[in-house]
């Protein structure tokens, strides 16, 4: 029986490249001349550090642009509030990977509401969809791309015929 997995992932290597490019852009931009600002990637967290709050906003837009240019959906960014620590300002951006239980349940509920002849089941951080016909599965993919649902980038992986 044909099946596919619904996941929410990003390429870590591309995220590293995007952070490196954003660091280079901060070092070369005229409005950041003489400012000690930097991006640091630690696991799935990107730390932004600058001298002022408005610089953090500019850095956040730089990072968003670089991630999009490297093929990473900006919806995977979970931006925390800026932390004022003396002279420096810090902000953490978490790059979300995997489907949370609530989002997976919402996806399964939307699939069932479509009345398609497929079965869906939650398997850890992904949702597996199986059906008898390939056309039914492609219809579910189109449905999930078009509908408003969880604010997550969804990828369809592991398509088996």
* Residues pairing with 61 in the sheet: none
CATH number for the domain whose boundaries are 3-8+99-160: 3.30.70.860
Q: What is the pLDDT of residues 67-118, one digit of tens each?
A: 999 988 888 888 889 888 878 899 999 988 888 888 888 888 888 888 888 8
Beta strand ranges found along the chain (DSSP E): 3-7, 38-42, 45-50, 77-79, 83-85, 88-95, 118-123, 126-131, 155-160
Q: Do domains 3-8+99-160 and 12-95 have the same CATH topology?
A: yes
Q: What is the pLDDT of residues 41-55, one digit of tens each?
A: 898 899 999 888 888
Rounded mean pLDDT of 144-154? Answer: 74
12-95 placed in CATH 2.40.110.10: no
Rounded mean pLDDT of 12-26? Answer: 91
Q: Can you give the residue ranges of every domain in the chain? A: 3-8+99-160, 12-95
């Amino acid at each position: 029986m044909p099946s596919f997995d619904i996941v929410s992932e990003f390429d870590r290597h591309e995220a590293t490249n995007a952070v490196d490019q954003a660091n280079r852009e901060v070092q070369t931009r005229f409005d950041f001349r003489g400012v000690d600002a930097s991006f640091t990637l630690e696991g799935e967290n990107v730390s932004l550090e600058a001298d002022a709050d408005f610089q953090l906003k500019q850095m956040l837009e730089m990072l968003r642009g670089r991630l999009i240019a490297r093929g990473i959906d900006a919806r995977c960014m979970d931006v925390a509030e800026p932390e004022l620590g003396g002279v420096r300002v810090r902000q953490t951006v978490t790059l979300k990977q995997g489907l949370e239980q609530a989002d997976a349940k919402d996806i399964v509920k939307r699939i069932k509401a479509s009345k398609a002849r497929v079965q869906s089941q939650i398997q850890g951080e992904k949702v597996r969809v199986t059906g008898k016909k390939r056309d039914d599965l492609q219809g579910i993919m189109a449905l999930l791309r078009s509908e408003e649902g969880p604010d997550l980038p969804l990828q369809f992986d592991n398509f088996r015929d």
